[in-house]
Structure 1
Amino acid sequence: MTKQFDVAVIGAGIAGLAHAIAASRRGLSVALFERSHVAQAASVRNFGMIWPIGQPAGEWYELALRSRELWLELQQQGVLDLEPCGSIHVAKHHDELDVLEEFSELGTHQVQMLKPAEVLKRAGIVNSDGLLGGMYSPTELRVDPRTASARIAAWLQASGRAECHFGTTITHVKEGHLLSSAGDRWVADRIVVCSGSDLQTLYPKCLAEADLKLCKLQMMKVQQEPISRMSPHLAGGLTLRHYASFTQCHSLAALQDRIATNHPELDRYGIHVMASPFRSGRIIMGDSHEYGDAITPFDKREIDELMLRELRKLICLPHWTVCQRWHGVYAKHPTLPVFESQPDEGVHVFVGTGGAGMTMSLGLAERSWQRWHGHSQT
Structure 2
Amino acid sequence: MARLVVVGGGVLGSMHAWMAVEAGHDVVHLEREAGARGASVRNFGLVWVSGRARGAELELAVRARELWERVAGRIPAIGFRANGSITVITRDDELAVISEVCARADAVDRGLRLLDGDEVTAMNPALRGLALAGLYASRDAAVEPRLVPAAVRDSLAGTGRYRFLPGREVVDVQDSGGVRVTDATGDVWDADRAVLCTGAWHAGVAGRWLADAPLRRVRLHMMQTAPLGETLTTSVADADSLRYYPAYEGPALRRLAPPDPAGAAWGMQLLMVQRLDGGLTIGDTHLYTEPFGFDLEEEPYRLLTRRVEHLLGRPLPAVQRRWTGVYSQLAPAAAGTADHDRLGNTAGMGESTAGTDRGLGIYLHREVLPGVHLVTGPGGRGMTLAPVIAERTLVAAGLLDSAPTS
| Shift of residue 212, structure 1, vs aligned partner | 0.5
1:97 matched to 2:95: yes
Rounded Cα–Cα distance in structure 2 between residues aligned with 1:274 and 1:87: 10
Query: CA deviation digits over 1:177-209, x for unaligned, max 9?
Result: 111111111111111110001000123132121
Q: Is the 8 A contact 1:79 1:152 kept in 2?
A: no
Rounded Cα–Cα distance in structure 1 between residues aligned with 2:236 and 2:31: 33
Query: CA deviation digits over 1:1-31, x for unaligned, max 9?
Result: xxx9611110011111121122223222111
1:252 matched to 2:253: yes
TM-score (norm 1): 0.92
| Shift of residue 294, structure 1, vs aligned partner | 5.2
1:12 matched to 2:9: yes
2:355: which partner in 1? Answer: none
Moved over 6 A (4+): none
2:155: which partner in 1? Answer: 155
Higher helix content, 1 or 2: 1
| Shift of residue 365, structure 1, vs aligned partner | 1.6
Q: Secondary structure at the match of 2:205?
A: coil
1:30: which partner in 2? Answer: 27
1:338: which partner in 2? Answer: 363
1:49: which partner in 2? Answer: 46
2:63: which partner in 1? Answer: 66
Q: Is the 8 A contact 2:86 2:135 kept in 1?
A: yes
Unpaired stretches in structure 2, ≥5 consecutive residues: 332-348, 350-360
Backbone CA RMSD of aligned residues: 1.9
1:211: which partner in 2? Answer: 214
Rounded Cα–Cα distance in structure 1 between residues aligned with 2:368 and 2:72: 35
Q: Secondary structure at the match of 1:40?
A: coil
Candidates 195, 198, 210, aligned match of 1:195: 198
Query: CA deviation digits over 1:184-242, x for unaligned, max 9?
Result: 11111111110001000123132121121000110001113443x56100000011111
1:352 matched to 2:353: no
TM-score (norm 2): 0.86
| Shift of residue 376, structure 1, vs aligned partner | 6.8
1:264: which partner in 2? Answer: 261
1:312: which partner in 2? Answer: 309
| Shift of residue 361, structure 1, vs aligned partner | 1.2
Q: Secondary structure at the match of 2:217?
A: strand
Candidates 378, 392, 396, aligned match of 1:367: 392
Q: Which residues of 2 match residues 203-242 of structure 1 at below 5 A?
A: 203-227=206-230, 231-242=233-244
Rounded Cα–Cα distance in structure 1 between residues aligned with 2:85 and 2:161: 33
Q: Secondary structure at the match of 2:324?
A: strand
Unpaired stretches in structure 1, ≥5 consecutive residues: none
Paired residues, number: 367
2:189: which partner in 1? Answer: 186
Q: Is the 8 A contact 1:223 1:282 kept in 2?
A: yes
Change (3 A) 1:169 1:317: farther
| Shift of residue 148, structure 1, vs aligned partner | 1.3
2:325: which partner in 1? Answer: 328
| Shift of residue 79, structure 1, vs aligned partner | 4.2
Q: Secondary structure at the match of 1:174?
A: strand
